[in-house]
Amino acid sequence: MTSTSRLSGLRDLPVADRRRRIQDSTGVGPEALAALDPAHGLQVEQADHLIENVIGVMGIPVGLATNFTINGRDVLIPMATEEASVVAAASNAARIARVLGGFHTSSTEPLMQAQIQVLDVVDPEGGRARLLESRQEIIDLANEQDPILVRFGGGVRDLLVRLVPSPVQTYVVAHLVVDVRDAMGANAVNTMAEAVATRVGEIAGGRPLLRILTNKADRRITRARAVFDAESLGGPQVVDDLVHAGALAQADPYRAATHNKGIMNGISAVVLATGNDTRAVEAGAHSHAIGPDGRYTSLSRFEKDADGNLVGFLELPMPVGLVGGATKAHPVARSALAILGVGTAQELADVVVATGLAQNLAAMRALATEGIQRGHMSLHARNIAVTAGATGDEVPQVVARLISDKAIRAEHAQQVLAELRSAR
Ligand code: MEV
């Protein structure tokens, strides 16, 4: 249980001291955090069991987002991202959100669906009806595939059957709706779909073809809401401008894509840090960004409340798990989950969506005020300084010069660094 997510001054500490602050705040021991050091992180031999033809591992920075309160609980959020300013921006928005109570979430049950496509059904309406009449038989057959999931309270909840007209023919498509509990669920539902496909084909009177989950996980939705204090945002004008920023994203697909990218900056970073499937979450997000009128739109909404504060709301499918996949097999994912202290996949989903909302608000606020380039350029200057070879206290000195000289370029960084060193 995290005592507080307000770790002020964290960014000024060396990495080892930051880890100690995490230990103090979360009670997570040094052994659980050891994997955050590449020497003890994912080893090539372990990676060799995760994918094929392994030739190495790739390092991505893991940063800690601070200041988050989610459903009344303080939480420190590990984020894996190569993009500068993402972690700082999320922490900044979370600091503003906590003034009025932080983030609040709600969710559906963790229901995933698998599809079984049936071809060549002479009477598709009849095929659909026959399948629905055999609902219990198909559900029982599917549940037999995963007695452990059933024992933990999960299992098939429903059988749906859709008729999907296509340019080639009308397919009968059966859906198994499965409560996957704390798993992401792909393995569970795919196994079930493959196991029942032959019988589904027989009953429908056609040939089963594709048997796979749908990443349009629209029955596994998590929503996050936060009220952002007007004064901390910068005043009433900023609130109004943020409502305009949100409205443009809602109305215009060109803006919506960028707005949603900002949301995914937060979401994918937490999903990756916890060893979950970033592509599954991203595919679900894309599918959810189509509004009722069939147009691509923003995943979040913003409005002003009666007190003049900004209310932000984000909703999307969140198929993440705590068991299976790389969540257990990847040592860094285990560390990240220990820091988060989440006990269920649902709590992890809450954290992911709250981070997405924070990230979105932070980007919008930067865009609606000073623009993002100033913040980006100072972080970019840091990268240039480090790439030029600056270390330790040389980094801030080189960065300061690059910014004051308005020349954030590699050769200038090298020159400044050489001057600095010769002056010592
Ligand atoms: C950059 O990674 C993300 C932003 O473009 C998001 C946005 O425009 O809202 C800043």
The per-residue DSSP string of 156-193 comes to EEEEEEEEEE-SS-EEEEEEEEEE-TTB--HHHHHHHH
Closest residue by Cα to residue 303 from 413, 228, 194: 228
pLDDT given for residue 377 in this prediction: 81
- CA 64 to ligand 1 centroid distance, Å: 20
d(CA 282, CA 288): 10
Residue among 258, 298, 299, 360 to mutate when testing ligand 1 (max atoms within 8 A of CB): 258
Does residue 293 belong to any structural domain of this protein? Answer: yes
SS3 314: strand
Q: pLDDT tens for residues 240-284?
A: 999 999 999 999 999 999 999 999 999 999 999 999 999 999 999
Residue among 79, 241, 250, 265 to mutate when testing ligand 1 (max atoms within 8 A of CB): 265
Between the CA of residue 9 and those of 18, 29, 43, 98, what are the distances in Å?
9, 21, 32, 18
CB 178 within 8 A of CB 154: yes
The residue whose two tokens read 């955050």 is: 36
pLDDT given for residue 117 in this prediction: 98
pLDDT given for residue 1 in this prediction: 76
Structural domain boundaries, residue 181: 111-213
Which atom of ligand 1 lies at the shortest distance from residue 262's CA?
6
Q: pLDDT tens for residues 23-73?
A: 999 999 999 999 999 999 999 999 999 999 999 999 999 999 999 999 999
Q: What residues contact 397, with CB distance under 8 A and at least 6 apart?
A: 390, 416, 420
pLDDT given for residue 380 in this prediction: 83
SS3 296: strand
- Report, as an integer, the average pLDDT of 199-209: 98
pLDDT at 373 > cutoff 90: no
- CA 257 to ligand 1 centroid distance, Å: 9
- Report, as an integer, the average pLDDT of 163-181: 98
Residue among 372, 373, 374, 380 to mutate when testing ligand 1 (max atoms within 8 A of CB): 372
Question: CA 52, 54, 57, 58 torsion: positive or negative?
Answer: negative
257 shares its domain with 345: yes
- Report, as an integer, the average pLDDT of 411-416: 95
331 shares its domain with 397: no
Which atom of ligand 1 lies at the shortest distance from residue 249's CA?
9
101 shares its domain with 129: no
pLDDT at 103 > cutoff 80: yes
104 shares its domain with 115: no
225 shares its domain with 340: yes
248 shares its domain with 102: yes
In whole numbers, what is the pLDDT of the chain averaged over residues? 96
Residues near ligand 1 with C-beta < 6 Å? 83, 258-259, 261-262, 265, 363-364, 367, 372
Please list the alpha-helical segments (H only) found in 70-146.
86-98, 124-133, 135-143
- In this structure, which residue's CA is closest to atom 2 in ligand 1? 262
171 shares its domain with 28: no
CB 38 within 8 A of CB 59: yes
- Choose one of 165, 189, 213: the last residue of a domain: 213
> Could you tell me the CATH number of the domain that includes residue 418?
1.10.8.660
d(CA 145, CA 154): 12
403 shares its domain with 280: no
* Whether pTM exceeds 0.75: yes
DSSP 207: E
- In this structure, which residue's CA is closest to atom 1 in ligand 1? 262
pLDDT at 93 > cutoff 80: yes
* Cβ-based burial of 411 (10 A; exposed 0-12, middle 13-18, buried ≥19): exposed
pLDDT at 305 > cutoff 80: yes
d(CA 287, CA 251): 17
- CA 267 to ligand 1 centroid distance, Å: 13
Does residue 5 belong to any structural domain of this protein? Answer: no
Closest residue by Cα to residue 62 from 364, 338, 302, 370: 338
Question: CA 297, 301, 304, 306 torsion: positive or negative?
Answer: positive
104 shares its domain with 247: yes
Which atom of ligand 1 lies at the shortest distance from residue 372's CA?
10
Residue 2 tokens, joined? 């995290």
For the chain, the first-to-last Cα distance in angstroms comes to 47
pLDDT given for residue 188 in this prediction: 97
- Report, as an integer, the average pLDDT of 96-122: 98
Q: pLDDT tens for residues 394-405?
A: 998 999 999 999
> Could you tell me the CATH number of the domain that includes residue 262?
3.90.770.10
- Choose one of 169, 191, 213: the last residue of a domain: 213
pLDDT at 372 > cutoff 90: no
pLDDT given for residue 8 in this prediction: 86
d(CA 22, CA 301): 33
- In this structure, which residue's CA is closest to atom 9 in ligand 1? 259
pLDDT at 132 > cutoff 80: yes
**386 vs 226 pLDDT, higher one:** 226
Residue 313 tokens, joined? 């709301």
CB 246 within 8 A of CB 360: no
**324 vs 271 pLDDT, higher one:** 271
- CA 362 to ligand 1 centroid distance, Å: 9
Does residue 229 belong to any structural domain of this protein? Answer: yes
pLDDT tier at 369, thresholds 50, 70, 90: very high
pLDDT given for residue 152 in this prediction: 96
- CA 363 to ligand 1 centroid distance, Å: 6
pLDDT given for residue 375 in this prediction: 75
Does residue 3 belong to any structural domain of this protein? Answer: no
Does residue 2 belong to any structural domain of this protein? Answer: no
pLDDT at 374 > cutoff 80: no
- Report, as an integer, the average pLDDT of 153-182: 98
pLDDT given for residue 424 in this prediction: 81
Q: Which residues are catalytic?
A: 83, 261, 277, 376
CB 218 within 8 A of CB 317: yes
Query: What whole-number percentage of the chain has pLDDT above 70?
Result: 100
286 shares its domain with 307: yes
Q: pLDDT tens for residues 283-304?
A: 999 999 999 899 999 999 999 9
20 shares its domain with 60: yes
d(CA 201, CA 156): 19
Does residue 188 belong to any structural domain of this protein? Answer: yes
364 shares its domain with 281: yes
- In this structure, which residue's CA is closest to atom 4 in ligand 1? 262
- In this structure, which residue's CA is closest to atom 10 in ligand 1? 363
CB 103 within 8 A of CB 97: yes
- CA 258 to ligand 1 centroid distance, Å: 6
Does residue 4 belong to any structural domain of this protein? Answer: no
Does residue 207 belong to any structural domain of this protein? Answer: yes
CB 317 within 8 A of CB 285: yes
- Choose one of 196, 213, 230: the last residue of a domain: 213
The residue whose two tokens read 């691509």 is: 296
Which atom of ligand 1 lies at the shortest distance from residue 83's CA?
2
Domain count, the chain: 3
pLDDT given for residue 12 in this prediction: 87
pLDDT tier at 371, thresholds 50, 70, 90: confident
CA 196 to mean position of chain CA atoms? 32
